[in-house]
Amino acid sequence: MAERKSMIDPVHPEITIIQQCELLGISRSGYYYTPCPVDKATLDLMNIIDKQYTKTPYYGSRKMSAYLKMIGYNVDRKRVRRLYKLMGLTAIYPKRNLSKPAKGHKIYPYLLKGLTIDHPNQVWESDITYSVPGSRQLINCRDTISFEIYYYSICALL
């Protein structure tokens, strides 16, 4: 937009500013518009939002406005949402249709369909259990009938 604005010659003898704007595909108000500078209070608020967003990127506008109210800033959700949009931030959360397979993804057959599981060591199952998030996980492999554990491992997560 700034590049096209610079192409307009306001003192051109033959083509008016209106015609130049039409030729370049910008509105006349877009040519005359100068953005307002952001005030210091809004910049401070944006810095606080940015710091908190890097710690908790899953905060949406509601949670962020609650956080800001908790630390003493009286802002409503609409202002936080506008600042999120201005800063290019979005909350990280599971989106819709998350479990749809990708194109070209191979679908594996269910091998136990129609199989009667009636004796030990016929079918094994595995499980991953997380304790406190970010702490450790337990991985085990056991028999479906006797529940005998054949393998286990405790891994510390970083």
Instruction: Find out whether 157 and 134 touch, Cβ atoms under 8 Å.
Output: yes
pLDDT digits (tens, 9 = 90+) for 5-58: 888 888 888 999 999 999 999 998 988 888 889 899 999 999 999 999 999 999
Strand ranges for 33-130 from DSSP E: 124-130
Query: Cα(158)–Cα(135) distance, rounded to whole angstroms?
Result: 7
Confidence of residue 100 (pLDDT cuts 50, 70, 90): confident
Q: What is the pLDDT of residue 131?
A: 74
Alpha helices (H) along 11-76: 17-24, 28-32, 40-55, 61-70
Burial class (CB in 10 A: 0-12, 13-18, 19+), 83: buried
Per-residue pLDDT at 154: 86
Mean pLDDT over 111-133 rounds to 86
Say what percent of the chain tops pLDDT 70. 97
User: pLDDT category, 133, cuts 50, 70, 90?
Assistant: low
Its pTM stands at 0.50
Percent residues over pLDDT 90 in the chain = 42
Beta strand residue intervals within the chain, DSSP E: 124-130, 136-143, 149-156
Is 118 a residue whose pLDDT tops 80?
Answer: yes
Which is nearest to 78 in space by CA: 60, 52, 57, 59? 60
Give the mean pLDDT of the chain.
Answer: 89
